[in-house]
Amino acid sequence: MSGMRVTPVEVGLVGAGPWAATMHGPVLAAGPQTRLAAVWARRPDAAAELAVRLGTHAAASYEELLDRCEAVAFAVPPDVQAALAPRAARAGKALLLEKPIALDLDAARALADAVAESGVVTQLVLTKRYHPATRAFLAAAAGFDATGAQSRYLHGAFLGGAAATGWRLARGALHDLGPHLLDLVDAALGPIDDLHATGDSRRWIELSCRHRGGAVSQLSLSGAVGLPASRAGIELFGPSGTLALDFATVDHAECWPVLRAEFATAVRSGVPHTLDVRRGLLLQELLSRIGG
């Protein structure tokens, strides 16, 4: 089997903004497990420019994109993804989804329902989860007796630049950074049974979680503090000491090739990734419990 050549997955990219141009597009075009079949965006000029740079086709419509691919990757705001992804699922296309999967719980449920009805494979772009350091941390956490945890994701990207986009400025750190930390504390400490928030998501928000096994976690989130570099990570505390993961050791450039390979494997095998739309729905449910 290892010597057999596997046909690359034909992926259509929705979006032509900064994230699509710097991450999704180049990674999917690089292969070898995937081939970028086409790009479509609401701004035809941006789609055409990105398609030329990546050596692929600019689709004139979303329908044309679907006709040209077997899987769709989304690099658009959550509400746009939530509107378009169910159509791709009903067309039988595998989905590579950004987090959060929507901006509200009803839209997230509608997307998850469309996936369940169509039976297509899905996978979330929770980038840090694909890095060896994160996986080593979670493996160690499984055997660590944790009574509490502190985590943080702090940067100033919302103060200006490519990340200071409409939905991020409106919703703040809770929707953009929150899924990363909620996913990690849930994976490291067990399911979150209780969740409370204090603060303003557009400035600084604190989340307090109680986990099913009795552990407690604290999450600090802000995208609006002046820092030369982001400060992010998670540290578990217990009778035996501590266990930590510093996101400074997690390079996105090392995550994406793993993500691409595992997405292609899921599509070809038909076996859903563990980080699929159901995980996205769980995170959306947590966000909704604190007004997100």
pLDDT tens-digit map of 134-193: 999 999 999 999 999 999 999 998 888 777 777 787 788 999 999 999 999 999 999 999
In 91-176, which ranges are continuous DSSP H helix? 105-118, 132-141, 166-171, 173-176
Q: How confident is the model at residue 4 (pLDDT cuts 50, 70, 90)?
A: low
Predicted pLDDT at 257: 97
H helix count then E strand count, the chain: 12, 12
- The CATH class, in words, for 132-250 is alpha beta
Predicted pLDDT at 250: 86
Is 3.40.50.720 the CATH number for 9-127+253-275?
A: yes
CA distances from 23 to 35, 42, 75 (A): 14, 19, 9
In whole angstroms, what is the distance from residue 270 CA to residue 250 CA? 29
Tokens representing residue 136 in the block? 């080593």
Closest CA to 98 of 158, 165, 31: 165
Number of neighbours of residue 160 by Cβ within 10 angstroms: 8
- Using an 8 Å Cβ cutoff, are 41 and 14 in contact? yes
- Domain coordinates of the chain in residue numbers? 9-127+253-275, 132-250
pTM: 0.94
Mean pLDDT rounded to a whole number for the chain: 94
In whole angstroms, what is the distance from residue 69 CA to residue 76 CA? 18
In whole angstroms, what is the distance from residue 90 CA to residue 115 CA? 8
